């Protein structure tokens, strides 16, 4: 079965500092991977998705970037965090046969 890991679980960072969130997937190859952000009191917003190594699609213009250096690794980054980057970040793997999305445990980011 597939397993999704996210690191770190929680993070408190000052405004202007860099960010790197890591997501790794086990038990599958060439997965479609997604980064979502859930801001307080709001739904989930799709940030990036990747269908393979080096392939990144961005959904909304923002202060963040994503990279897919390995087949089962997906990284979310920022050079300078903003207060508005605070939220709950979820890495997601697209499953079969219903194309449902399996969520990682999430990273709770607080920017102060």
Partner 1 sequence: AQKITQTQPGMFVQEKEAVTLDCTYDTSDQSYGLFWYKQPSSGEMIFLIYQGSYDEQNATEGRYSLNFQKARKSANLVISASQLGDSAMYFCAMREGGGSNYKLTFGKGTLLTVNP
Task: List residues binding partner 1 (CB under 8 A).
Answer: 32, 34, 36, 42-46, 49, 51, 57, 88, 90, 94, 98-103, 105-106, 108
CB of 42 to partner 1, least distance (A): 6
CB of 83 to partner 1, least distance (A): 21
Transcribe 12-72 into DSSP letters: EE-TT--EEEEEEEES-SS--EEEEEE-TTS-EEEEEEEEETTEEEESS--S-EEEEEETT
CB of 80 to partner 1, least distance (A): 26
């Amino acid at each position: 079965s597939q397993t999704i890991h996210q690191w770190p679980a929680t993070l408190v960072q000052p405004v202007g500092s860099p960010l790197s969130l890591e997501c790794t997937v086990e038990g599958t190859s060439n997965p479609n991977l997604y980064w979502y952000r859930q801001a307080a009191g709001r739904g989930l917003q799709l940030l990036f998705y990747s269908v393979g190594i080096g392939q990144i699609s961005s959904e909304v213009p923002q202060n963040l970037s994503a990279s897919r250096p390995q087949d089962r690794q997906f990284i979310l980054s920022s050079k300078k965090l903003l207060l508005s980057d605070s939220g709950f970040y979820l890495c997601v793997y697209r499953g079969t046969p219903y194309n449902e999305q399996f969520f990682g445990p999430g990273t709770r980011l607080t920017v102060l």
